[in-house]
């Protein structure tokens, strides 16, 4: 059990290294009020930090979690995140399975020639004269074998008779350099890291999640492994239990609908989440006008909503298991390449 308050206040418990719940830098001040008994001549003192007015809207578990997310849970909390059998277990949507490679085959993908990948607009659009710290575009020199192994789109650019192969340069002017950097991280390590949204974060609600952008990039690059990794993170964020679940905004739904195909897995997940939680203001953010405009602009979203309109909110169990949203189909370019190889194999040699 983790203790609350300052070490002095926690001296009667089994440990004095507990987290200062919800506010690591502010000192713990016991909350006192006059007792209802004894004609108000006595003071009652509360040792729980959630009794203070500034924290009264949050439970002790939520405040404790806020410290853990910032790495301020004390030595015992750090130990518990490494051993699930001790103390607090981190929420499931932050625990990603690491890829443990048991062979050295991945090193073969790092050998051979490299190609330059330029991401973002050609001309820098950053304000100010200093372009050394440009964030609007970026370039990478990546092994062709590594990219070709994962992405059918990039494999075609590296191996087919396109301009990219002749110039040894791939341009992605409409993509986000920060998102592509996560893709590069995934190529080398099998995972990527994104700062988790904090409980008391000042992050604007209109900001689109990086995992959503990663899935869209993976869909463009025809990399189902990257798509599935991003989908797993998205799914766990929105299907977590209770207050751990992330709220859905109209801006994020609109971004998904405008950048995905009608039958894509990400689109299906978001529409099912919206319909299932439409009556819950804690799970959906946005004004009635914004949602109305969104439904008017996208017929498939409007149709799914009205199909389930007469079903009670507690019975709208549309969201399926996580595996149902994974991509197991082979990319079209990969299928076409195999067809071409088969056709070449059937052509008889010249006499």
In a domain, 55, yes or no: yes
How high is the pLDDT of residue 335? Answer: 52
Q: Which residues of the chain have pLDDT under 50?
A: 1-22, 76-77, 79-99, 131, 199-206, 338-339, 341-346
Q: How far apart are CA 260 and CA 43, in angstroms?
A: 61
Task: Provide the residue range defining the domain that includes 9.
Answer: 1-90
In a domain, 48, yes or no: yes
Q: How far apart are CA 225 and CA 248, in angstroms?
A: 25
How high is the pLDDT of residue 279? Answer: 84
Q: How far apart are CA 22 and CA 55, in angstroms?
A: 8
In a domain, 296, yes or no: no
pTM: 0.64
- DSSP at 32: E
How high is the pLDDT of residue 303? Answer: 92
Distances (CA, A) of 161 to 155, 164, 184, 277: 11, 8, 24, 49
Q: How many domains does the chain have?
A: 1
How high is the pLDDT of residue 337? Answer: 55
Helix axes 250-258, 265-276, angle to 10 degrees: 150
**Distance in angstroms between the alpha carbons of the first and the last residue of the chain:** 83
Q: Say if residues 197 and 70 touch (Cβ distance below 8 Å).
A: no
For residue 31, give the CATH number of its domain. Answer: 1.10.10.2360
- DSSP at 94: G
In a domain, 318, yes or no: no
In a domain, 3, yes or no: yes
- Residue 264: φ, ψ to 5°: -75, 155
- Residue 43: φ, ψ to 5°: -110, 135
In a domain, 248, yes or no: no
In a domain, 113, yes or no: no
114 pairs with which residues across the strands? 143
In a domain, 22, yes or no: yes
Q: How far apart are CA 126 and CA 203, in angstroms?
A: 22
How high is the pLDDT of residue 243? Answer: 74
């Amino acid at each position: 059990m983790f203790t609350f308050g300052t070490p002095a206040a926690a001296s009667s418990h089994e440990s004095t290294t507990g987290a200062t719940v919800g506010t690591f830098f502010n000192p713990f001040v016991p909350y006192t009020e006059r007792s209802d008994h004894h004609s108000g001549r006595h003071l009652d003192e509360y040792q729980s930090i959630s009794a203070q007015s500034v924290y009264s809207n949050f439970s002790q578990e939520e405040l404790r979690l806020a410290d853990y997310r910032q790495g301020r849970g004390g030595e015992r909390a750090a130990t518990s995140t490494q051993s699930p059998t001790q103390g607090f277990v981190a929420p499931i949507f932050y625990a990603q399975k690491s890829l443990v490679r048991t062979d050295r085959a991945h090193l073969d993908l790092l050998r051979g020639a490299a190609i330059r990948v330029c991401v973002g607009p050609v001309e820098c659009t950053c304000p100010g004269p200093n372009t050394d710290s440009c964030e609007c575009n970026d370039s990478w020199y990546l092994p062709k074998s590594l990219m070709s192994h994962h992405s059918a789109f990039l494999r075609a650019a590296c191996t087919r008779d396109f301009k990219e192969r002749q110039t040894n340069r791939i341009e992605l002017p409409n993509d986000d350099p920060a998102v592509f950097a996560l893709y590069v991280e995934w190529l080398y390590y099998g995972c990527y890291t994104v700062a988790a949204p904090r409980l008391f974060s000042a992050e604007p609600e209109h900001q689109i999640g990086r995992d959503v952008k990663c899935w869209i990039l993976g869909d463009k690059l025809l990399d189902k492994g990257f798509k599935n990794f991003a989908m797993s993170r998205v799914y766990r964020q929105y299907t977590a239990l209770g207050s751990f679940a992330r709220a859905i905004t109209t801006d994020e739904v609109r971004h998904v609908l405008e950048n995905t195909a009608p039958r894509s897995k990400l689109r299906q997940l978001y529409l099912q989440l919206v319909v299932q939680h439409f009556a819950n203001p804690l799970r959906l953010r946005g004004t009635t006008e914004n949602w109305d405009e969104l439904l008017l602009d996208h017929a498939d979203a409007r149709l799914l909503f009205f199909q389930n309109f007469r079903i009670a909110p507690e019975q709208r169990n549309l969201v399926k298991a996580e595996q149902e949203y994974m991509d197991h189909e082979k990319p079209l370019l990969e299928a076409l390449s195999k067809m071409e190889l088969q056709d070449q194999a059937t052509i008889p040699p010249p006499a």
